Structure 1
């Protein structure tokens, strides 16, 4: 009887070890959101632009709800965002506007220090935007009387943004010597635009698409004959070197993440309407399960 008891205990120990091994193997793959591994943690860097708030929160929600990660959000300016991925203090970002907006100042100096997973959104644009009711069509027109009506001011966003660098260059290239670029934030710029638009007053801002303001207001870009702002761009996903080996599940998802300007704008519109960033991300994911399933396919 003692022999039978020993055999039973041994069998129980073997089954326990096998189950533990299976559990560990499952956690290594990254596909079980209900029991995340302790080291399944990732830091996403982003800039506080409406577009990047939308995309980063959607990525965060997928990582947490579908793949069991703990996600840390690191809000920084554009320059530190690239440096953070390059030196490994952040794991990933989905906010690289290329080739023009971020290319020369941020991407090129660091391109050998991170991994570029390619385009996650195609069809972006940056430039100077005005309400459609304004009777101007080109940056060249700013040399006329329109300057007086806006106090020779272009309302911009954060000083480290690529669009701010391009706008400063545009002021120089087009000989707009009396004009000034007002530094603020993306939220402050949008408020100035909204207030002027509601009163049908003239206003000139740094604009980009996708952005909710183009969905909510009738706006237009000023033509840029000198091509200072460049043409249509793409947003890329960048990750630190070694992420594929450290976090294969997160790497695969980030590599497969892609959506459209309409997708991004729908999240931004919900946030603008009063929904929290997290709620808007969850709503979009709930409404787009088929697309999300493709992002995490094979994980």
Structure 2
């Protein structure tokens, strides 16, 4: 089993006795509109990152000297495709500048622990303000932010592009178009739990919500779109399916699928001083849905590299998108 190609999400939740456990489930991000609250009623550290403008502190690195210390260690989270996509893209750019970059595949807990101890330089996949809130509260004094690069991390219900429904609210009267069927992913996924909450909100209690696995959902999505059939699936952004298949999200007027989160870079304390070139490059990074989906598609879809040879896949995408690399270094991706 290739853990990096499975869309698993590690979600920290407090038990009644106060112990912290990790629950693994595909796309288990705690994407929610609920307010993030701290025990003492003060604003938690993670809430400071509820809003972001990707690339807002961009600056041209072409006139900067590269760092003296060219050994960089990144943590990429097992099961989070965008984590490996962003990390390997950064690795490609840095190695072209003479750096040596090591990417360690870790679960979120060990990843943040490693950054806080200085064993790892950067983690590029911090979801805020909700999903990774606990880790920021625990390690806020020993890690530092280096900009957000994506601001549309959402859980969705999606349909084929030429589908009749435009909104989840339309589905109640369109059961015959979709066979009153919602194709889901793993039963334990955070996305599955959120969909179960949304179903009664939109009066879809008599629909069949089928859960099995992410690969099974994607197989059905591919089969339906190839055949020109209507299909309703649970999905999330970022995901390569948006590049691989003609698929679009349904509007969610009730907000039942939760709100959007942002994805940030975080480094060990002092990294910006030790490695100003890399730190600025991280702050310049902006990946919109189009670029991120196409990068992930090359790296992870079975029609391309299928989660194997990620360095080669990232290099291929970079060479096919030279203007992106140029604009990244120039600090010109912000606002796109």
After TM superposition, is the score higher than 0.5?
yes
Give the Cα separation in 2 of the matches to 1:123 and 1:135.
24
Q: Deviations over 1:74-105 (max 9, x none)?
A: 154x677667656767543322344xxxx33x
8 Å CA contact 1:122, 1:261 repeated in 2: no
Give the Cα separation in 2 of the matches to 1:82 and 1:174.
38
* Other structure's SS at 2:132 match: helix
Q: Deviations over 1:8-42 (max 9, x none)?
A: xxxxxxxxxxxxxxxxxxxxx8636xxx76xx241
8 Å CA contact 1:45, 1:84 repeated in 2: no
Cα offset, 1:224, TM superposition = 1.1
Partner residue in 1 for 2:126 = 96
Partner residue in 2 for 1:258 = 286
- Does structure 1 residue 192 correspond to structure 2 residue 220? yes
Cα offset, 1:226, TM superposition = 1.3
The correspondence for 1:128, drawn from 146, 150, 157, is 157
8 Å CA contact 2:284, 2:328 repeated in 1: no
TM-score (norm 1): 0.65
Give the Cα separation in 1 of the matches to 2:270 and 2:178.
53
| Equivalent pairs, count | 254
Cα offset, 1:129, TM superposition = 0.3
* Other structure's SS at 1:74 match: strand
Cα offset, 1:195, TM superposition = 1.8
Q: Which stretches of structure 1, 4 residues or more, deviate above 6 A after TM superposition?
A: none
8 Å CA contact 1:154, 1:205 repeated in 2: yes
The correspondence for 1:65, drawn from 96, 118, 126, is 96
Tell me which protein shows more helix as a share of its residues.
Answer: 1
After superposition, the CA RMSD in angstroms is 3.8
The correspondence for 2:304, drawn from 267, 274, 279, is 274
8 Å CA contact 1:117, 1:238 repeated in 2: yes
Aligned positions of 1:109-148 closer than 5 A: 109-112=134-137, 113=139, 114-123=143-152, 125-143=154-172, 146=175
Give the Cα separation in 2 of the matches to 1:115 and 1:237.
9
Give the Cα separation in 2 of the matches to 1:132 and 1:143.
19
Partner residue in 1 for 2:234 = 206
Cα offset, 1:227, TM superposition = 0.9
Give the Cα separation in 1 of the matches to 2:238 and 2:104.
21
Give the Cα separation in 2 of the matches to 1:154 and 1:132.
16
TM-score (norm 2): 0.59
Q: Deviations over 1:230-281 (max 9, x none)?
A: 4555432223445446655544432333343333233234334524532231
Change over 3 Å in CA distance of 1:131–1:259 after alignment to 2: closer
8 Å CA contact 2:67, 2:278 repeated in 1: no
Q: Deviations over 1:126-166 (max 9, x none)?
A: 411011343333323444563895574432369455x4453
Give the Cα separation in 2 of the matches to 1:243 and 1:31.
11
Give the Cα separation in 2 of the matches to 1:181 and 1:147.
16
Give the Cα separation in 1 of the matches to 2:101 and 2:167.
47
For structure 1, the 5+ residue unaligned runs are 1-28
- Does structure 1 residue 285 correspond to structure 2 residue 318? yes
Give the Cα separation in 2 of the matches to 1:292 and 1:250.
12
